[in-house]
Each structure stands twice: as structure tokens, then as C-alpha cells.
Structure 1
Amino acid sequence: MSDTEVKAPKIEFPNVDYPVKVISDTGVGNKDKIIDIVKKHAKVNDERVDERQSTNGKYTTIQLHIVATDQDQLYNINSELRATGFVHMVL
């Protein structure tokens, strides 16, 4: 590996304060659906759920903090959220 290549940061599990940011279409009930999906896979800190709309109101960003247990859990959360059709990105 050269000096200019950057390694992806390694996630240490369990991680009790892992941030998940979800960018979705703005829509009635989408926030609740996103939270329900994430709660199926992980414990969510309900006090640290933040919602912001884009300037034009077309998109909503929801940030949650979860207890991340392993890479498979994160993959499953990402897959199920992306399958909704209204989620565009999970970070």
C-alpha cells in the first residue's frame, strides 16, 4: 500500500454509540418506518434521533445512534432500508 492510499477505518464491535445516517425521500410515515426497521436489528438510543429536511424539502436525513454488534448486522440494516424504495443512502 502506498502512502497516498487511505485505509477504511476499522469498526470495533460492540460499538454502543454507532451513528447511522439515512437519506430518504420526504414522506408521511417514512421516519417511523426507518426507525422500525433499524429497531428490528439493533437497540436504538431514542434520545439521539435527529431529523433534518433538505432546503427544498424533497429529502429527509435521519440520524440514529445504535448498538452495533457486528458487520452482518450493519449489512442487514442497510439492505432492508435500501429495499424500501424511498431510502437513497445509508451512511
Structure 2
Amino acid sequence: MSQPEAPKIVFPCANYPVKVVGDQGESFKNDVFSVLAGLGIEHSTTRIREMPSKNDRFVALTIPITAESEQQLSDLNVALRKLPSVKMVI
């Protein structure tokens, strides 16, 4: 049996959720926001969701952005993964 094809993203895609997991602390958040700004990706700080880990060592940020292209999402993924405080990008 063949696998069903994954749904395609239609660009621009408003409210595309970018989830980043990293070390708890302001430097992690500031680094993530600097990457977004460096790539010219606007986001609303009031719509960001923060979820601390059970032991409060890590935090997951869910940041809704307007995704403009696959290349933009790829560039964002690469830039975020280069940050030492980032553990995972979803």
C-alpha cells in the first residue's frame, strides 16, 4: 500500500507554528528572537506560548509566524539549530 501524500503548505501561510525547545532562561528567548529578526521574520510577542519542562530545566516556545516560503522555513530551521541553547526545532 502506498502512503498518503502529506498535505502541502500554501504560502504565505499565516499563523504557522514554529516550536523551539531549549535551555530555560532569557538568553535562549533573546537568541531565538534575534534569529527571527535577522531573517526578517515578524512575530507577535503576545501570541507566543511558553511551556516549561517538568523539572523547569528546559522551555518550549511556540511562535506563530507568517511563513512566506519553503526556503524561509529551511533557513529558519538551520539558523535556530546553530544556537547552542537550542535542543530541538519542530
Give unmatched runs, 5+ long, in structure 1: none
Percentage of pairs with the same residue: 34
**1:14 pairs with 12, 15, 28, which one?**
12
Counterpart secondary structure, 2:25:
coil
Give unmatched runs, 5+ long, in structure 2: none
Runs of 4+ in 1 over 6 A off after TM superposition: none
Q: How many residues align?
A: 89
Task: Provide the alpha-carbon RMSD of the alignment.
Answer: 1.5
Q: Compute the TM-score of the two structures, normalised by the length of structure 2.
A: 0.87
Q: Compute the TM-score of the two structures, normalised by the length of structure 1.
A: 0.86
Q: CA deviation at 1:45?
A: 2.2
Q: Write the mapping of 1:1-91 to structure 2, written as runs, cut at 5 A.
A: 2=2, 5-41=3-39, 42-91=41-90
| Separation in 1, partners of 2:71, 2:42 | 15
